[in-house]
Amino acid sequence: MKTRSGKTAGAIPRSHVRSNFPRQPITDLRANAVFLVGFMGAGKSSVGRALSERLNWMFEDLDDRIERRERRTVAEIFRQSGEPAFRRAEHSALQNVLDGLRDGARIIALGGGVYVHSNNATLLKSAGVPTVFLDAPVEELWQRCCNQASDAGTDRPLLRNPEQFRELYETRCRSYAKASLTIQTGGRTVDEIAAEIQQKLGLKKIELRVAQGEVE
């Protein structure tokens, strides 16, 4: 499956992290949002974009929201502030997304570590929104990540050690498996995968999409 890279840079003053979690449960959102989870190379962003095009829903990558809020790239946050600071920003961004779901139907791709943290999984469950685990054989995930890194000219530490990559995948799969739906992506196109998600969740296309006061 071909994937499209797409993390954007940008970011700064640290955003305020909420401690009053969870807030009042969000209801009637099951048909209004889909959250894609999975390991590196699973195709969350590319499948999310394809699904949003099929449904005329909005698409967002949570990492992009974090970078806009923090005015730093994910890599910079990790390097300058450490993983705990990133995880706090990640949780705050996820809460912010959930708070805004009534503004319009959307597909959200989550970073590989979001769903493995219990506070995030609990937040999504309490919101009543569907989560879709995109899975593939670990060997294929490894190759996809290597190809993406090569195309982008980036250096990812986890791609230096295939055994470490496999171990992390196997550890995280225990959490991913708790998602509402699991979709196998190995050897398939993004359009095939998006069509299956739409069919299994009974998602409806909307003719007009309103975002930030504009009809698209």
Residue 205's region, left for phi above 0, alpha for psi from -120 to 50, else beta, is beta
| Per-residue pLDDT tens digits for 176-212 | 999 999 999 999 999 999 999 999 999 999 876 554 4
| Per-residue pLDDT tens digits for 118-130 | 999 999 999 999 9
CA terminus-to-terminus distance, the chain: 29
Average pLDDT value for residue range 44-63: 96
DSSP string, 65-104: HHHHHHBS-HHHHHHHH-HHHHHHHHHHHHHHHHHTGGG-
Instruction: Identify the CA nearest to 14 among candidates 84, 115, 109, 103.
Output: 84
Residue 155 has what pLDDT?
57
Across 26-30, 55-59, 89-93, least confident range: 26-30
Phi then psi dihedrals of residue 195, to 5 deg: -65, -40
Orientation of helix 74-81 relative to helix 62-70, angle to 10°: 60
Residue 9 pLDDT exceeds 60? no
Angstrom distance (rounded) from CA 139 to CA 124 = 29
- Which residue ranges make up each domain of the chain? 33-204
Structural fold of domain 33-204: Rossmann fold (3.40.50)
